[in-house]
Amino acid sequence: MRALFALSIATTAGVIAGCTASLPAPTAEEVRTRYIEVALECEFGQCPDGAVLPAGPVSLAITGEPREDQVRAVTEAVGQWNTACTRFPITLDGPAVVPMEVIFWPQDDLDSVLEVYIEGNSGFFNYDWNALGEITAITVGIASELDGRQLRHFVLEEITQSLGLKNDVSDPNSIFDSGTSAHATYSQMDRQIISLHCSPNIIAGVKAAEVPLPQVQ
């Protein structure tokens, strides 16, 4: 068994609160292509070969004494994830197979609470995985200076990516956007790729060529 790390990059260079209501529904091929980009490509750090999935249900705990708005942002993110993914539910401070620790900490000192961190990021995560490609433990670090929409965005993005959807893409309508958008809710495409990730058709270690066309909702 190996304890390794996956990384997520995010900055606070700007905020664009775009609207996704009028976007056409993604096709099955578009969802499959996006899933491969998000789940099976790796931009930063050492990543496993193939998809990684939580080893089971996730139990989230917030370290320290979080502000009320930070707790609300976490609770909202958990609710969005659980609505999109029933296979790997997140509970707050409950018994579960995979522990997730969320830490709100000054950005200039995030490297003291994350084993792997790249300077300048307002949100970052590390996860450990086993030889089967299963995530066994997660740590999410969020800059304590954030508030409002940026706080909600980074909490949702980092929690989501730490569950195996690790890579950024260029899509201003998506929570996974590598640019300056700061959405605090999943787009229709985001929900579709999370649904595929959490479907019984995806197993730990699956390669890009093995990802099936999903049934779009």
pTM: 0.89
Q: Residue 82 corresponds to which tokens in the numbers above?
A: 């659980």
Residues 6+ apart with CB under 8 A from 37: 167, 169
Tally the C-alpha atoms within 13 A of residue 3's C-alpha that lie toward its C-beta. Answer: 7
Q: How far apart are alpha carbons 17 and 20 in whole angstroms?
A: 10
∠ Cα 164 4 153 (to 5°): 40
Helices (H), the chain: 28-39, 68-84, 148-161, 188-197
Q: How far apart are alpha carbons 179 and 177 in whole angstroms?
A: 5
How much is the pLDDT for 40? 93
Backbone angles phi, psi at 215, to 5 degrees: -90, 105
Q: How far apart are alpha carbons 136 and 46 in whole angstroms?
A: 16
Backbone angles phi, psi at 30, to 5 degrees: -65, -40
Q: How far apart are alpha carbons 47 and 125 in whole angstroms?
A: 13
Residues of the chain short of pLDDT 70, as ranges, are 1-22, 43-47
Which bin fits 45, alpha (ψ -120 to 50), beta or left (φ > 0)?
left
Q: What is the Cα 98 distance to its own chain's centre? A: 15
How much is the pLDDT for 212? 94
Adjacent-strand bridge partners of 123? 142
Residue 136: Cβ within 10 Å count? 17
pLDDT in tens, 93-125: 888 899 999 999 999 999 999 999 999 999 999
Residue 115: Cβ within 10 Å count? 10
- Residue showing tokens 């958008």: 181
* Residue 169: DSSP 8-state: B
Q: Which of 41, 5, 2, 1 is nearest to 138 (CA)?
A: 5
